Structures are given as structure tokens and as C-alpha cells.
A and B are shown apart, each in its own frame.
Chain A
């Protein structure tokens, strides 16, 4: 018997040097990049795969744009946050024109806004004053503001000459430009998700690692606690917790308070995912191999297990941010989250709470469009990231 197989199977056959392809990924890579593929790290493989997901790439660019808006909101907003002009209360969105009575204009312009109160209903109605044309100006001089609280300037990205108005999304009851308020509101609404997720992430990672790593009764205790927390109805608990926040707190304190309230639910899902990943990865042969090589438990944890589920964690974070944004918006809409003078999308939507406003001034709902857009692009990007997250998936 001994030696049989050696004759049966040709030992002279050369060693296979052809690399195995990484599923469909390799097919799309040209020959010139082939040698790079061999030495490509996980993040490179992920990027190559993500790049092929068009919707996700567009979403990522939209998000980039939204967060640039957060950073440069003072400059992008046509009016500063403090601007109000009650003579223009509830003005409808102004249209941007290219054509006037005297033909086509290469440069867009808006007409002047003329308001008149109906003497019977006392309702104010607006119409375009065709006699006055205000061309849009880039880097226009408008109302002064403090840029990042550092220096005062009057330059806005777009604006019109003094005397004209530029209410592209209309105004609210106090004649404040809604577009500017939405742009300022993004600063709160879009960052509360990031900070909330950051907080949930730290909690979830820590508790998940403890739960998965130690197991036993600690694991049991943590898992039961998570089940209890998750079985609370979300909105009432949020309401109760935000009601506890003292009304004497400053806007900044309220902002962080609400973030903490939102994170109370956020961490549980993440902790579960981390625990599950640790439990399954601990059984992988490469973790056993590291242990047999004499690696310490912390080394196995940080060098083998953590990098293996990091990509999944990032994906779930991306998918968790929209939940936070919606949470803030709902709480503020209900009047339990952020309150004026803080401007967030939820606070703006408070104005659109009764049917009368919705019927007469539908443009007050436009912050909701931004909420929907943000949530959608986060989800699309999360989808793309999820597909790209495990370049080693052999299925």
C-alpha cells in the first residue's frame, strides 16, 4: 500500500503558480493591475468593489456635499441665521428666471417680491414685481455674519443686490429664509447622527467585546439587559428621557443631552453584532493558529479578531446614522428634542405641524425633503459598503 499513491499521482507535476481569482473581482481588473491585486490589502479590495456600485458612489458624493454644507453653512446660506423681515412673512419660494419679457438672459435673475394683504381675509399674498429684476450674484455682498465665529464678512455664495430678496424655498411666519435655515439646521441634524453613532459605537464595541470575550454569566447578563432595553417602546422612552433634561440647560447642553438619549438604544444592536462576530471568529482556524503559535489573548483580539469585523462595524455604523437623524427629527418635531433658538431640521418641521400651514404654506415641509434625501443616501451608501465589506466572501 505504501507508495501506491505516489505512483498513482504524478509527483513531477509542477507546482501550480496560477493564483486563484478573488471571485468576480479579478475579472474586472485589467492585467496591468493583476500584480497589484496580489498585494492589495483588504481596504484596497473594498474600495475597488465599492467603486463599482454606482448608486453608492453617487450617494457618497451627495453625502460629501451635505457635510461640506455643514462645514461652510454660513457662507452657503444666502441669509444669516439672525435675519428676519416680518414684511416678508410666509413668502412663497421665488423662481429663478432665464427669460423675461425682453427675451433670454444668459445670467439667471429673480423678480422683486411684492406683498399685499387681502383686506377681507387679512391673508398676505405675494406676486412677482416684473418691473424689478435682480440678477443672481456669486460671492454677493449681503447681510454680515461671523464665519466660524472667527471674523466678520458679508460675502455669501449667492445673493442679490440690496433691495431684492432671494427666498428660494420661501419664508416662515417671521419672514426668515427657509433655505438658509435648512442649511444652518444641517449643522445640528447631520452632526447629531455622527456624534450619537460615535457614542453608541464606543459603548457597543466595549460591551460587545466584554460579552463575547468573557462569555459565561457576564455574557448572559449583558444579553438579557440588551433584550430588556430593546423591548422598551422607543418613542415613549425617548420622550420620557428628554423630558428629564432640565429646561435651564444651554442649547449646547441640550444638544449633547439629546445625543445621549438617542444613543441609549443605539449601542444595543452594535454590541450584539460585535459579540456575534467575536463568537464566530474565535472559532476560525486562523485564531486557533495564532493561539497555538503562543500569541496572547489580547494580541489575538486586536490583531486577528478586531480587524476581521471592523468592516462590518463600519457598515452598521453607516446604516445606524440615519436612524439617529430620524430620531432627532422626530423628537424635535414633537417638541421634546431640540427647541428654538436651536435650528435643526426637526425644529423647522415644528412649524409645519398643523394642517392649515401645510395647506397654505406647503414649502414649510421642505426640511422633510432634506431629511428623506439624507436618510436615503446614507442607506444607499451603506448598501454599497455592505456589498464591499467582505472582499473575501467566497459565496
Chain B
């Protein structure tokens, strides 16, 4: 490859096209997130394996003991594992952000005349894709194993909308971490330190009735429990408006509180 072959002088000189809309910028970042699935299919494996193992282990190992039969337990557990999957997977946007920042890619984005928040919008698009793909696969496996959402197709659609809202809300935690921490692995470790107790001390795996009183107090007020209760209700067709509102409380609060923090951290430099 000789240097004489390089001839930027032959490049036509190109002027700026009309300013693209913020929405079309965000779509480009979404397209990038999809390309990542194509080039790094391993991340899909990460996404699916943990919830898959949880589903199979809890259903077949503990299910009979916890709920009398594996079928009954699956019916109880599957909505919860969907919540867990989405909450765990929102760590990926924080890790992706941290990687982009450490590689200097955001420097280029920030020097472009684009809507300054579109990279974040793109991360969110990527999240929705991830949550959608992972959720559908887990639900599919559940259906094969005998899970039946009583509310049928509309219940499933409403449940997924709630899942996206949950993912959107928890995503902000990891965006803040991603902006603060330059090593993706540390983002994951710190993120999971927060998330693990919330997920396990909830009503995802078992009903809280057998727990000690102080723990019941925590579990019953844990936002992850509210999310799980609402999702079970939506799948079964028994959710009240109050259930859903309670489930949305944490995502809404997180968005209101953390979105400005993310913006401030991003523009701080």
C-alpha cells in the first residue's frame, strides 16, 4: 500500500446537506445499536443466558417446593424474571457509554452539528431493542414450558410497554455511572452492587409472607416488587390502575432526577 495511492485531492468537495431532524439523528444511533448485534452477537448470549438459567433452575429445582408444582411456580415466576432481565440488562447502555467515552467516540459526536442529546436517545433505542429481544425470547421459552398469560395478546403488549418504561427508568442510573466511570467493567460491578439486593429482596422469586417482618417491610416497599406485581397483573388481566401507577413511580422519579444529572455530566467538559 503506497502512500501515493492516497489522494484526498481527488475527493469532490461536498457542502452541508439540510440540517437533519433530531429524530433522524436518534434513528442513526439506533441503527448503530442494531449493527452491534450483528457484529457482536455474543452480547445477545449474555443477555439471554442469565434469565434463561434462572427460569429453568427456579422452575424445575425450587418450583415444586415453593409453589406445589413447577407449572404453578412458572406462572408466578415468569413475569418476575422479565422484570429482572430488563433491570439487569439496562447495565449495558452504561457499559456502552463508558466504552464510547474511553475510546473518544463521543468527542467526535460532540463536535458534530447535531442535536446534542441524540447519542443518548440512540442508547435508549438500543435499550428498547435489547429489552424487546430478551423479553420475547424469555416469554417464548416460558410459553414452551407451559406459561400462559391469562390476559392474552393485549396483556403481553401492555406488559412489554411497562417493561420498556422500567428499562428506560433504570437506564438513567447506568448512564450516570457510565459518564462517571471510564472502565466499563467497573460500571457493571458497581451497577450490580445496587441492583442485586433490589432484585433478590423483592417478590420476584417468592411471596414475602414467610420472610421476617423487617424484610417484609423492605420487600413490600421495594420498587422492583411494585413493578413485578403490576406486570403479573397485566399478564393475568387483573392489574389495577394503582398497581401500574405504583410500578411507574420509580422509573418516573429516576427520569426526573437523573436526566438532568446526565445532561450536566455530559456538558460539563
Whether A associates with B in a native complex is: no
